[in-house]
Amino acid sequence: MTVTDESSTGSTPQTLREHPVMMAVVKVLVETLQENILNILDARGIPIGDGARSRIMDCEDVVRLKDWVVRSATVKSACEIFYVLPDLTSWHRGEPTSKLGLLWMKLIVNAMANAEEDKVVDRDREELLRILDERGIDVPPDQLFFINMTNVATAMRRWLGKAHTIERIDELFVKDEAVE
């Protein structure tokens, strides 16, 4: 739809969206939606960090803001309004789910497995450093950094096994030669 902008020196057609009155209406709508999001979160006692507040106040997309208003009524933290996870309830009932839902489920399962592996690596790392300390083997800062940055369970297990027999820290990182 086009309207005539009579404020200009001629009659230049504009889309309704570009008309100054419509732009003012949209601006008021955006500001109202932004305030609604902040008010709902505040009324629910949910803290709003500077980053979340800035993201809300910088957004001028009416559709997105409307979505965030709805989400602000149910989220547990302000940052949750920005992210949507797929509904996986049908997966729990044994029903088929979307490819996106299956991808999310795979990512969640992998993240849980990685978190469990990280716990094992952390426990093994603590044990490794305890053994080295008990045996009086000095660990220089650069090698301590390397040990602390390693999150591969197999490497940590190998080092843990070697910690009982090495005499110097540099022996810990030497690869075992294959026995023929």
Number of domains comprising the chain = 2
Shared domain for 97 and 160, answered yes or no, is yes
**Inside any domain, residue 178:** no
Shared domain for 160 and 106, answered yes or no, is yes
Q: Which span out of 23-27, 47-51, 53-57 was modeled with the highest average pLDDT?
A: 53-57
* Band (180; pLDDT cuts 50, 70, 90): very low
Tell me if 76 is assigned to some domain. yes
Tokens representing residue 162 in the block: 């070697």
* DSSP letter, residue 78: G
Same domain as 71, residue 118: no
In a domain, 58, yes or no: yes
Answer yes or no: do 77 and 111 share one domain: no
Q: Kindly state whether residue 180 falls inside one of the protein's structural domains.
A: no
Domain boundary among 58, 82, 106: 82
User: Do residues 147 and 168 share a domain?
Assistant: yes
| Residue 97: inside a domain | yes
135-143, Cβ contacts within 8 angstroms, sequence gap of 24 or more: 135/163, 135/164, 137/163, 137/166, 137/167, 137/168, 137/169, 138/169, 139/169, 140/169, 143/169, 143/170, 143/172, 143/173
| Long-range interactions of 137-144: CB distance < 8 A, separation 24+ | 137/163, 137/166, 137/167, 137/168, 137/169, 138/169, 139/169, 140/169, 143/169, 143/170, 143/172, 143/173
Tens digit of each residue's pLDDT (9 = 90 or more) over 96-125: 556 666 676 677 777 777 777 788 888 999
In a domain, 87, yes or no: no
- Digit-coded pLDDT (tens) for 8-33: 444 454 565 677 888 888 899 999 99
Does residue 139 form part of some domain?
A: yes
Q: Which two tokens stand for residue 33?
A: 């939606």
- Threshold 0.85, pTM exceeds: no
For residue 73, what are the domain limits? Answer: 2-82
Domain boundary among 82, 108, 127: 82
In-domain check, residue 159: yes
